[in-house]
């Protein structure tokens, strides 16, 4: 019985580590940043004043398949700023 419980504890720890590892590597450091240019300056301000979620609503006004298409194989598009950090490295 004691041994069975221990096994489950290790399993839970393993799952926790797997989730942490996944979250840790989710935004790759090489992901291009949101430039500080005339197209994006307003969003740098908006993120500061109202947060990322408020700014992300506008990204797809330009970044969509007709205007500025995403590169091939681009990951799921919600939460742009989770992966694309603001500004230059």
For ligand HEC, the binding residues (CB under 6 A) are 28, 31-32, 34-35, 37, 39-40, 43, 55-56, 58-63, 68, 70-71, 74-77, 79-84
- Closer residue to ligand HEC, CB minimum distance, 2 or 28: 28
Mention every residue, 6+ apart, whose C-beta is less than 8 A from residue 59: 43, 80
How far apart, in Å, are the Cα atoms of 75 and each of 5, 30, 54? 39, 14, 20
From the CB of 2, what's the least distance to ligand HEC, in Å?
42
State the Cα–Cα distance between residues 55 and 48, nearest whole angstrom: 9
From the CB of 41, what's the least distance to ligand HEC, in Å?
10
From the CB of 57, what's the least distance to ligand HEC, in Å?
8
């Amino acid at each position: 019985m004691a041994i069975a419980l221990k096994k489950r504890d290790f399993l839970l720890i393993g799952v926790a580590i797997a989730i942490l590892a996944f979250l840790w590597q989710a935004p790759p450091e090489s992901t291009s940043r949101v430039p500080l240019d005339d197209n994006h300056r307003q969003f740098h301000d908006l993120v500061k004043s109202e947060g990322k979620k408020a700014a992300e609503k506008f990204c797809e006004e330009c970044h969509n398949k007709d205007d500025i298409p995403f590169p091939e194989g681009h990951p799921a598009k919600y939460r742009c700023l989770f992966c694309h950090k603001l500004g230059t490295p």
